[in-house]
Amino acid sequence: MAWASDNVRHSSNSSPDSGRLVVVSGPSGVGKSSVVEGLASRVPFRFSVSVTTRAPRPDEVEGVDYTFVDEKRFREMVAGDELLEWAQYSDKLYGTPRAAVAEFLAAGHDVVLDIENRGAAQIRESHPEAILIFVAPPSLDELERRLKARGNTRDVEKRLAVASEQITSAQALYDHIVVNDDLDTAICDIADILARPGRLGHASEDAQETPS
Ligand code: 5GP
């Protein structure tokens, strides 16, 4: 693939028994949620339930998809350093609760975060050993088609411009870029990445290091 990448970083600051922090990010409309959902049937992990100030969608369940809070509560969480990372997206606030992630990791579970790219950058800063995966569309034309198919006709141009920027800068931030052309293949690709023994924080002799 033109934008395929496989940069592996090594770090030594996590306990050998703790789980791995895995970030799955990518442009709006690329199918991140479907990828994470599909991944759940292949590999064991805990999903980090984010807090958000946006309203629940009809099919969403409190505490499963998100914890829905008002802006006052969200700001309190920021002030109290309760969030591992947070960002504003489409005028709403989203963040990853620190305590739940720490608990899962300490119990030895891998933890998957489905977050946007500024959150991913914050995780890279605070947890250099985290595995950052960028889910890319096969092309911007296909991304446009998917965005329109899911009813996003209003700000498609803006989303495509943001996506284009994200794709260009993805190589510098992410360890792996997985192209979601076919959903099952993308899920398998991520499962393969997570199955590798030479993981970040547990560098093995045979892991390949590619400076990014
Ligand atoms: P949606 O409102 O469609 O569920 O999510 C909008 C965007 O927010 C998606 O790109 C999603 O990955 C991102 N997002 C969800 N939770 C978090 C979070 O806790 N932190 C950050 N930075 N982004 C999040």
23 lines ligand 1 (CB under 6 A): no
What 3 state SS string does 127-194 have?
CCCCEEEEEECCCHHHHHHHHHHCCCCCCHHHHHHHHHHHHHHHHHHCCEEEECCCHHHHHHHHHHHH
Domain ranges of the chain: 2-48+109-209
Residue 158 has pLDDT above 50, yes or no: yes
pLDDT tens for each residue of 112-145: 999 999 999 999 999 999 999 999 999 999 999 9
What whole-number distance in Å separates Cα of residue 207 and Cα of residue 57?
A: 42
Q: Which residue has the CA at smallest separation from atom 2 of ligand 1? A: 54
Give the Å distance between the CA of 164 and the centre of ligand 1.
Answer: 18
98 lines ligand 1 (CB under 6 A): no
50 lines ligand 1 (CB under 6 A): yes
CATH superfamily, with its number, for domain 2-48+109-209: P-loop containing nucleotide triphosphate hydrolases (3.40.50.300)
Mean pLDDT of the chain: 87
* Candidate from 36, 89, 147 with most ligand 1 atoms within 8 A of CB, to mutate: 89
Residue 10 has pLDDT above 50, yes or no: no
pLDDT tens for each residue of 51-109: 999 999 999 999 999 999 999 999 999 999 999 999 999 899 999 999 999 999 999 99
